[in-house]
Structure 1
């Protein structure tokens, strides 16, 4: 196994027997080594097959500014996640997760704590990913002594969810994209307005729609927990937004034979109200 590129003393790029580009990791793996020399396979601790062009370069850029401890933490989290989750994790998750953890821990050390506005939704809709993320917090504490909160667990869980969409299941990713785009168009047409794509409310709405579409792809059924009083309150208070939700529900029923729950109708209505109302006010 020949060294094709040295990313740092512990990480090199090579090719496996199938001539696939791989990143191999191990303590001191590249110490005093040069491109073209043989990899000491006895030192290899981790191997990543790089199916996407450019992943090695992105990993190299990341490694130049990221302490090795974050790479180890990400590796442990991914190993744990892959042992529990029923789908393949995209290889780029390793890069994205390492970068995220480095930034999150740096923020924590500076006393900057960011709230995840989707914590409740992530905890409810993505229970498996959230449980993995809670274990990730334990791993972070074990390795660094730093305790991060559930808001950070929600962010890690979101990386896991996104990894599923960017993996080899391209048909699902396309379906999610089409569904989200069509729902956005229904809302825009209903209110006869363009939405501010730079606003926080738009970003929240987009994230909710993506979660929403992923649940359909994964054939997850959500049991109703909204009582009649709250449902009627939302329907009456946000009448225009609820009408837009009704149109979305009709589109999903006709095109996907998906009858969305009352919970979903409530959440969609609230998000639609926020994104449209703030737009109108501004």
Structure 2
């Protein structure tokens, strides 16, 4: 039997140099995550929907040109028409403009509350994990005490003391939310602080704050992005629920929760006043949740196939 030699094989479609190459272009962690995210049609569709919603909360109140504050009793409780796309409320104000103003307010509240949650939780968790020992024990006990208090009861107490205003709402939303972030950051940094580059930074005399910002935070961006994607819809829904129950913002402030609360009073005769704020709220929350699921699959190495 004749021996098999390389000369008896012919490479088709590639040069001999290309056929012998075994390397491939190297890509970074974030490039690989973006590539995986693009392969998820549901996540990309949610990203497009969020982009459209972002544009609408900016330009939506100005599309029809109606003042969303001024009352027009002569045209109150109007239905859907070419003049009023979402109809009018019980004071004759254009509901289309008010819905997008309310969505803007709800998004701003959720983004600010998420930023507060991430900043406090990241710094607190990093301090626990970096110093360890009695510092870790004391700070962990504080988290356990805070988590032992029912969050709804604590929210009601804060709103009663500080009043139904934006500052009180942000405090109520953020007072316990950062605890979960702190726990996640603590667990992640417990692993990172054993690495060589952190040990080298400590030997060179780097201060704890520099180590946290320079070495810990960049390696936790995946977790923090996932936390952001899940926290924003949670805060939007919580704000809407509190305002609907009369605990959060109240008229004349405008948010999706306030609009839903006002629409609920007239839903028997004018259901559109409740339908459109609820529809926009559901679309925003669903888009963020679906995008968060896609980001989790793209960023978490343990979930990659």
TM-score by length of 2: 0.20
TM-score by length of 1: 0.22
Q: From the two aligned structures, give the one with the greater strand fraction.
A: 1
Larger RCO (CA within 8 A; separation ≥ 6): 2
Pair member with larger Rg: 2
